[in-house]
Each structure stands twice: as structure tokens, then as C-alpha cells.
């Protein structure tokens, strides 16, 4: 099944279904012995981030459950972050070389790449494998906790439409605030925060995409572009720190001068593109967004009842404006 919420089904059942799928996929990724370890870790960490995005959408339904399981998923992802980060730097350098392939000879990147590959591959197997095995066991325990996510008929947060509308609007509002800070400060920390907020907004657009695919699918594409671009920007910031620690191992002075100049140039391109897209993506007022999502969700809930006339998404949007 897809990473999508079905408005016609009970929200708690949808949460358990989607969360269970993500946890099982993470378990399979880490347990597949034929897969590259770096790819398996990357896949598992993506699943855990998707789980945190799902939790944020339904946060108001079970605040205590959200607080507990959000920390669990965060800590599980962090337990393998070192191994993944080393591989990400190699990928980031390869993308830099490909982006400027027509301007700069590949030899400029050779020594830096050799150094990053060596660092990626020197993590002892005896350290990674036990950590992966421990994580698989923890994922299984997390799956058992899903049974506790039950929304009673007298839930204080309201019905499903209200819950997801608040969760969606909260993430949108945080994205809007992060954009304002990044626009002003333009530093590593503010862009990293904007990246995180855009990524969660992308997840929510995917989860609720069926409410209005023609509008939300392009928005999801835009949010993912911000998250991916600023993820690469963050990798370059980390790469710069690694180079500063032992510059001689990454190349000659000339090679480093060219490499760092390209890193600066690419980061500027990525950041400006992200700011421009985020300005448009997060332009709507969060209160209006919450009203719109709630009405769209309720309209989708009624869509399968042939006896009830259902407004089109455009009509819903007009009434929410």
C-alpha cells in the first residue's frame, strides 16, 4: 500500500497501517544480507523519517504517543547516522563533479574522492553489523507499540479532518517561519532547519495528496526539491568541515582552491533556488490552510456516499478562501 491516508477509513487504522508498512520495510532493508550496507542504512533511515512525518500529521490525536514514539524513531535513525553520513559525502562530491563536468577536469576531484571513500569504507564491519541487528530488533518492538494508537469517539482533538488539518497547518507554519529566518540569516543552521521543515511538509503533501492531486502533487514536488537541494547543501557544509580538519589529504593547494570555490558556488545556487521555491510554497496563511485541508478531507469522506452531493476540490477551495 502507498504512503497515503485514505479519508474513508478510520484515521487510527490508517496510521497503524502506514506506520506498520514503513517499519516492516525498514526491517527488510536492514535484514537483506545481499544489499550494500550503505544503501540499506539509507533506506531504513528514510523509513524512520517518513514515520516521524506521519506522527506529526496526527500529533493532536495522541500527544503522549507522539512524544514517546517520535523520540524512539529519532534515536533509531541517529544510531546509524555516522555510517550513512560518510557515504552521503561521496555522493555529494560525485554530484558536484557531474554538475561542473563541462567546466572542470575530473582530476580536480580525484584525491578528495579517494579520501572520502576511504573514510566511508573504514568503518569496521564488526561495529556496523551489530548496530544493524540491534536496530532490527528495536523496529520490531516499535511495531508492537502501534496497537496503542487508538482514537476514541470522544477524542479531545476532534474528528479526523480536524486532526490532520491541524497537523498539516502546523508543519506548513513552521516551514513558513523557517523560510523567513533563512531568508534573513542565510547560514548553515537556518538552511538546515528549512530543509527539515520542507521535508515534513513534503511528507504531509504525499499523505494527503489524494484530497486534491492536481494541486498537491506539484506542491509535493516543490517541497521535495527544497529538501533535496538543501540536503545537498548540508552535505557540502559537512564536507567543508572535513576538508578543514586535514586539508593536505584532500588534494594540492590548487585542487582545494578549485574544489572549495565550486562548493561555495553550488551552495549559493542551491540556497537561492530553495528560498525562491519556499517563498511560494509557504505563502499561504496557516489558518487558511487548516480550513482548506479540513474541508477537503471532509469532502473526500463524503465522496463515496452516492446520496450526498459532493463539491469539487475547486469549490471547496473557494469556500475556504
18-22, 275-279, 317-321: segment of lowest average pLDDT: 317-321
Same-domain check for residues 215 and 284: yes
Same-domain check for residues 143 and 56: yes
For 198, residues 6+ apart whose C-beta sits below 8 A from its C-beta are: 175, 178, 223, 224, 226, 227, 230, 274, 278, 281
Same-domain check for residues 177 and 318: yes
Q: Are 243 and 119 in contact (CB under 8 A)?
A: no
What is the per-residue pLDDT for 320? 45
Higher pLDDT, 78 or 303: 78
Q: How many domains does the chain divide into?
A: 2
Q: Is 133 left (phi over 0), alpha (psi -120 to 50) or beta?
A: alpha
Which domain-ending residue is among 153, 175, 204?
Answer: 153
For 284, residues 6+ apart whose C-beta sits below 8 A from its C-beta are: 172
Cα(296)–Cα(162) distance, rounded to whole angstroms? Answer: 11
Cα(305)–Cα(260) distance, rounded to whole angstroms? Answer: 60
Same-domain check for residues 145 and 279: no
Q: How many CB atoms lie within 10 A of CB 218?
A: 12
Residue 310 has pLDDT above 70, yes or no: no
Same-domain check for residues 129 and 178: no
Q: How many CB atoms lie within 10 A of CB 4?
A: 14
Residue 308 has pLDDT above 60, yes or no: no
Cα(4)–Cα(260) distance, rounded to whole angstroms? Answer: 41
**CA-closest candidate to residue 13, choices 53, 52, 58:** 58
What is the per-residue pLDDT for 316? 52
What is the per-residue pLDDT for 222? 98
DSSP 269-280: HHHHHHHHHHHH
Same-domain check for residues 263 and 313: yes
Which domain-ending residue is among 138, 153, 168?
Answer: 153
At 321, is the pLDDT very low, low, confident or very high (cuts 50, 70, 90)?
A: very low
Q: Is residue 1 part of a domain?
A: no
Assessment of whether the complete model's pTM goes beyond 0.75: yes
Which domain-ending residue is among 153, 184, 218?
Answer: 153
Angle, in degrees to the nearest 10, between helices 107-121 and 253-281: 80
Residue 126 has pLDDT above 60, yes or no: no
SS3 content of the chain, % helix, strand, coil (to 5): 80, 0, 20
Amino acid at each position: 500500500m502507498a504512503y497515503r491516508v485514505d479519508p474513508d477509513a478510520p484515521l487510527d487504522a490508517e496510521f497503524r497501517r502506514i506506520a506498520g508498512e514503513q517499519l516492516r520495510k525498514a526491517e527488510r532493508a536492514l535484514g537483506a544480507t545481499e544489499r550494500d550496507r550503505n544503501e540499506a542504512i539509507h533506506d531504513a533511515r528514510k523509513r524512520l523519517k517518513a514515520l516521524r512525518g506521519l506522527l506529526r500529521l496526527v500529533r493532536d490525536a495522541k500527544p503522549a504517543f507522539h512524544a514517546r514514539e517520535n523520540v524512539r524513531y529519532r534515536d533509531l535513525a541517529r544510531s546509524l547516522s555516522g555510517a550513512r553520513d560518510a557515504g552521503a559525502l561521496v555522493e555529494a562530491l560525485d554530484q558536484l563533479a557531474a554538475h561542473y563536468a563541462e567546466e572542470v577536469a575530473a582530476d580536480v576531484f580525484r584525491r578528495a574522492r579517494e579520501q572520502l571513500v576511504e573514510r566511508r569504507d573504514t568503518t569496521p564491519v564488526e561495529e556496523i553489523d551489530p548496530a544493524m541487528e540491534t536496530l532490527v530488533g528495536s523496529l520490531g518492538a516499535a511495531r508492537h507499540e502501534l496497537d496503542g494508537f487508538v482514537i476514541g469517539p470522544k477524542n479531545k482533538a476532534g474528528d479526523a479532518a480536524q486532526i490532520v488539518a491541524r497537523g498539516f497547518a502546523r508543519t506548513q507554519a513552521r516551514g513558513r517561519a523557517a523560510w523567513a529566518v533563512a531568508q534573513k540569516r542565510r547560514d548553515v543552521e537556518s538552511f538546515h532547519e528549512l530543509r527539515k521543515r520542507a521535508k515534513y511538509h513534503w511528507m504531509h503533501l504525499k499523505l494527503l495528496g489524494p484530497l486534491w492531486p492536481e494541486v498537491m502533487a506539484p506542491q509535493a514536488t516543490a517541497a521535495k526539491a527544497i529538501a533535496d537541494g538543501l540536503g545537498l547543501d548540508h552535505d557540502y557544509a559537512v564536507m567543508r568541515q572535513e576538508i578543514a580538519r586535514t586539508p593536505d589529504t584532500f588534494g594540492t593547494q590548487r585542487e582545494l582552491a578549485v574544489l572549495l570555490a565550486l562548493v561555495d558556488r553550488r551552495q549559493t545556487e542551491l540556497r537561492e533556488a530553495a528560498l525562491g521555491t519556499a517563498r511560494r510554497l509557504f505563502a499561504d496563511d496557516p489558518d487558511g490552510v487548516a480550513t482548506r485541508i479540513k474541508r477537503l478531507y471532509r469532502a473526500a469522506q463524503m465522496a463515496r456516499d452516492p446520496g450526498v452531493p459532493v463539491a469539487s476540490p475547486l469549490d471547496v477551495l473557494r469556500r475556504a478562501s
